[in-house]
Amino acid sequence: MSIASVNYSSNGAVSPEPEFPSAQLSIRNVTKVFAGKRDIFSKLSGKTSRDFVAIEDISLDIEPNTFVSIIGPSGCGKSTLLNMVAGLSPVSQGEILLNGSPITGPGPDRGMVFQNYALMPWMTVEENIRFAVETVFSKLSPKQINRAIKEQIQLVGLEGAEKKHPHELSGGMRQRVGIARALAINPQILLMDEPFGALDALTRGFLQSEVERIWEQQRKTVIMITHSIEEALLLSDRIVMMTRGPAARVDEILEVPFPRPRDRNTIDQHPAYHDLKAEMESHLFRETRAVEESRIR
């Protein structure tokens, strides 16, 4: 990677010696409260709402070069947690440390992959990636920028589609662009919020294998939200299972011991596979049933 040598401190994000050498990202007693509406206009229109505690007192340490999946019932606060790590949404209590320094806002040391791709429709594939590279590495020469873009396009297998606009691409191709754009800024951590959620099963399986291949090459720290047990088992080193909201917590963290590189066709032959799967299924089933029951009452 030619852009790996660029110093991040020029972009305002600092990377001093880590306080806790083992943890790259450290989430400490984080709580998220969405403030209710209590201003005069809401009071006059009778539309006041109470504070909502989405996440309560979550702590989690993530070592470098690990692939972490977060799984939990729908609406439990997974996106909320990821957005706080991304710096898009402030923490209400506690703190999140990246290499020992607290996260105060978004920054290019964390790359984000969005569920609905979030590609700029007016930019071609190449321009979408270029926007990211030029924003983050504004000091590079045009030649270096072009090389960095080309590298990413090759990495995710988008050769030949450079001049196409997103609306001319399939969902799978679009998410490749999304991944390439996130990787192009050479982040320390890759954040993915249900990256394959909008894809059909076949494309999904194919892209999972692609992500597995790319991850073997770069071994970046990844935090991925998913609803799919198989996906989590195929890709992750650790799986974080969250309880239902409100005031969601971390219920349990599973270590996934399968050797790498992994193959989706043979992974279920590992002796621990079915136990892990059964454990996750029962957790998700229990939490989802509780959510549904609380809805009926």
Partner 1 sequence: MAVSQPTLTKTKGANGSAPWLNENVKALGLFIISLVLFLLFWEIGANLKLFAKGMPTASKTLQELWWWSTHPFFDNGPNDLGIGWNLLISLRRVAIGYFLASAIAVPLGILIGISPIAYKAFNPYVQLLKPVSPLAWLPLGLYIFRDSEKTGIFIILISSIWPTLINTAFGVANVNPEYLDVSKTLGASRIRTIFKVIIPAALPNIVSGLRISMGISWLVIVAAEMLLGTGLGYFIWNEWNNLYIPNILVAIFIIGLVGLILDNIFGALEKFVAFGRKA
Ligand X SMILES: Nc1ncnc2c1ncn2[C@@H]1O[C@H](COP(=O)(O)OP(=O)(O)OP(=O)(O)O)[C@@H](O)[C@H]1O
Instruction: Please report, as ranges, the residues that interact with Mg ion according to CB under 5 A.
Output: 79
Do 131 and 156 form a contact (C-beta atoms < 8 A)?
no
Q: In the structure encoding, which two tokens stand for residue 161, read together?
A: 């589609």
Nearest CB to partner 1, comparing residues 149 and 233: 149
Contact pattern for ligand X over residues 229 through 268, marking x by CB under 6 A? ----------------x-----------------------
Residues 6+ apart with CB under 8 A from 256: 232, 233, 236, 237, 238, 239, 276
Beta bridge partners of 238: 68, 255
| 78 versus 110: smaller Cβ distance to partner 1 | 110
Residue holding tokens 């621990």? 272
192 to 57, 71, 222, 229, 269: CA distances (angstroms)? 22, 12, 8, 16, 28
Residue 43 amino acid letter: K
Structure tokens at 294: 């609380």
Q: Which does 94 bind (CB under 5 to 8 A by kind): ligand X, partner 1, Mg ion, none?
A: none
Give the per-residue contact string, 109-148, with partner 1 (x = CB under 8 A; - = no): -xxx-x-x-x-xxxx-------xx--xx------------
In whole angstroms, the minimum distance from the beta carbon of 81 to ligand X comes to 7
Q: Stretches 17-25, 77-85, 144-152, 204-212: which one binds ligand X (CB under 6 A)?
A: 77-85
Q: Is 54 in the site for ligand X (CB under 6 A)?
A: yes
The CA distances from residue 212 to 70, 79, 126, in Å, are: 17, 22, 23
Binding partner of 245, given ligand X, Mg ion, partner 1, none, CB within 5-8 angstroms per partner class = ligand X
Q: Is 165 in the site for partner 1 (CB under 8 A)?
A: yes
Residues with Cβ within 8 Å of residue 48, at least 6 apart in sequence: 36, 37, 38, 42
The stretch among 68-76, 90-98, 208-216, 255-263 that binds ligand X (CB under 6 A) is: 68-76
* 86 contact, one of partner 1, ligand X, Mg ion, none, CB 5-8 Å limit per kind: partner 1
CB within 8 Å of 160: residues ≥ 6 apart: none
Contact (CB, 8 A) for 207 and 214: no
Which CA distances in Å does 287 have to 241, 284, 295?
A: 10, 5, 12
When CB distances to ligand X are compared, the closest residue is 79
Which positions lie near ligand X, rule CB under 6 A?
Answer: 34, 52, 54, 74-80, 245
Which positions lie near partner 1, rule CB under 8 A?
Answer: 11-13, 86-88, 105-108, 110-112, 114, 116, 118, 120-123, 131-132, 135-136, 165-168, 181, 185
